[in-house]
């Protein structure tokens, strides 16, 4: 847990304050956190933080022009799958909703502490694994650059040399195959293999599980990635719509809106009239 604790500077007197005073909420949402202006996160300055806030306000306003019920109270439980500095949650903040900010364990920068200092809720998670939905599922999921982040990610497993009699217990080899490798049984094998951790289908199926029927998803990613996501989402009976981002049709980043339909096996896949 040491990585989640702000490294406060030492003080020399009883009247000195370590770190920075807490600002009241919601002013704390947009104030520069201590972790940032103290230089605790390499590459993230106060200017970068403020620009990130500005950009996400712009992005959320664009989302609202397409999905016009974001502010209606329809989406109470919201998740940001790749939260970054938490600026999406700050931009969409409302007494009608709350946001679970997820920090992927493979993200380049660990900014979960910034999310906490902004007065937001957050958690570490690897999207190649199941996400705990206790005690709730979600009405709206925001996935910005999630699929680009996990694209072609793999784990390389390596082990030191093992005697062949130990390798026999690990590998599905019969005695004939073992004898063909080393009939004397004295060889030392070095085990190394590569396996892909997960693919887009795995992540989308997990999103489908934690998303409530008639819940919505907002994907923001490269157009080639979203084309694949759109195809898979259609096979999952999601209703989808791809639009240009705020910078126009020439931008390589697009936005994909999706709605999980309410359907029952054996019946036509239709949404309710509500």
Which of 138, 108, 107 has its CA nearest to residue 125? 107
Say which DSSP state 227 is in: H
* pLDDT digits (tens), the chain, 274 positions: 666 665 565 666 676 665 667 788 889 999 998 888 888 888 999 999 999 999 999 999 999 999 999 999 999 999 999 999 999 999 999 999 999 999 999 999 999 999 999 999 999 999 999 999 988 899 999 999 999 999 867 444 444 554 545 544 444 444 444 444 454 544 444 444 344 468 899 999 999 999 999 999 999 999 999 999 999 999 999 999 999 999 999 999 999 999 999 877 776 544 443 3
Task: Mark 34-46 as b/e (b = at least 16 C-beta within 10 Å).
Answer: bbbeeeebeebee
According to DSSP, the residues that pair with 219 across neighbouring strands are 143, 256
d(CA 33, CA 67): 31
| Torsion angles phi and psi, residue 253, rounded to 5 | -90, 130
The residue among 52, 59, 55, 139 whose CA lies nearest residue 97 is 139
* Cβ(79)–Cβ(15) below 8 Å: no
Query: Residue 49's pLDDT is what?
Result: 97
Write the DSSP string, 92-148. H--TT-EEEEEEETT-SS--HHHHHHTT-EEEEE-TTSPPP--S--EEEEEEESHHH
Q: Which long-range contacts (CB under 8 A, 24 or more apart) does 67-73 make?
A: 67/216, 67/218, 67/257, 70/140, 71/96, 73/97
Rounded CA-CA distance 113/107 in Å is 14
Place of tokens 């082990």: 159
Sign of CA dihedral 53, 58, 59, 64: positive
Q: What angle do CA 267, 270, 271 make, to 5 degrees?
A: 135
- Which pLDDT score is estimated for 265? 73
C-alpha R_g of the chain: 24
> Please, how many CA atoms are within 13 Å of residue 263, restricted to the half-sphere of its CB?
14
């Amino acid at each position: 847990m040491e990585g989640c604790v702000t490294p406060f500077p030492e003080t020399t007197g009883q009247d000195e304050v370590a770190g920075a005073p807490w600002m009241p909420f919601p002013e704390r949402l947009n104030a520069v956190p201590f972790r940032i202006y103290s230089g605790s996160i390499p590459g993230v300055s106060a200017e970068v933080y403020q620009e990130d806030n500005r950009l996400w306000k712009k992005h959320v306003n664009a989302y609202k022009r397409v999905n016009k019920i974001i502010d209606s109270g329809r989406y109470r439980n919201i998740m940001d799958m790749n939260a970054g500095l938490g600026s999406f949650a700050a931009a969409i903040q409302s007494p009608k909703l709350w946001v679970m900010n997820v920090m992927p364990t493979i993200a380049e920068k660990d900014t979960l502490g910034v999310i906490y200092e902004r007065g937001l809720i957050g958690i570490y998670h690897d999207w190649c694994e199941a996400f705990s939905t206790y005690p709730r599922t979600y009405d709206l999921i925001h996935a910005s650059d999630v699929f680009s982040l996990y694209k072609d990610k793999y784990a390389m497993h390596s082990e030191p040399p093992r005697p062949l009699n130990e390798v026999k217990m690990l590998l599905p080899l019969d005695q004939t195959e073992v004898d063909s490798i080393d009939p004397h049984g004295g060889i030392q094998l070095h085990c190394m293999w590569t396996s892909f951790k997960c693919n887009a289908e795995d992540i989308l199926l997990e999103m489908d599980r934690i998303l409530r029927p008639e819940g919505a998803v907002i994907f923001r990613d490269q157009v080639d990635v979203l084309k694949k996501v759109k195809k898979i989402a259609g096979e999952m009976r999601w209703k989808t719509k791809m639009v240009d981002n705020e910078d126009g049709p020439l931008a390589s980043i697009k936005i994909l809106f999706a709605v999980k339909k309410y359907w029952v096996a054996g019946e036509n896949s239709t949404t309710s009239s509500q």
